[in-house]
Amino acid sequence: MTVAAQMLDTYPKDLGGVDKDKLRACIEACVECAQACTACADACLSEDMVADLIKCIRTNLDCADICDATGRVLSRHTGYDANLTRAVLEACAAACKACGDECEQHASMHEHCRVCAESCRRCEQACRDLIASLG
């Protein structure tokens, strides 16, 4: 059992009808994606052709920050605001799509970009699944 699952299971109040499995999956995907994007940006900085990866680095760093913030917002349940949560999830899905698209352009040359693009796609889907479950 993951820490995210344990924390959701031990939350003392009702989650207000939020699908706990989708919430857990989204938190975990956000944390994973933030790490992947941070590592990918750093790996891009180590490439010989770093000048060709400027947009990728920027997109990675933006996505990492947004995923990190989304994971933290989703981990807080007291005083839950569905509209804010939905907006944060939409922003995260958009950032993950943009980053996944950018990294895919470099995936054949840079394995770290391929791994990152896959993580971005998983996070984008987890965000969209959670949004759909919010109704």
* CATH number, domain 19-134, options 1.10.1060.10, 3.40.50.150, 1.20.210.10, 1.20.1270.360: 1.20.1270.360
One pLDDT digit (tens) per residue for the chain, 135 residues: 899 989 888 888 877 778 999 999 999 999 999 999 999 999 999 999 999 999 999 999 999 999 999 999 999 988 888 899 999 999 999 999 999 999 999 999 999 999 999 999 999 999 999 999 986
Domain boundaries, the chain: 19-134
What's the burial of 76, exposed, middle or buried (CB within 10 Å: 0-12/13-18/19+)?
A: exposed
Return the closest-CA partner of residue 43 out of 61, 62, 65, 69.
61
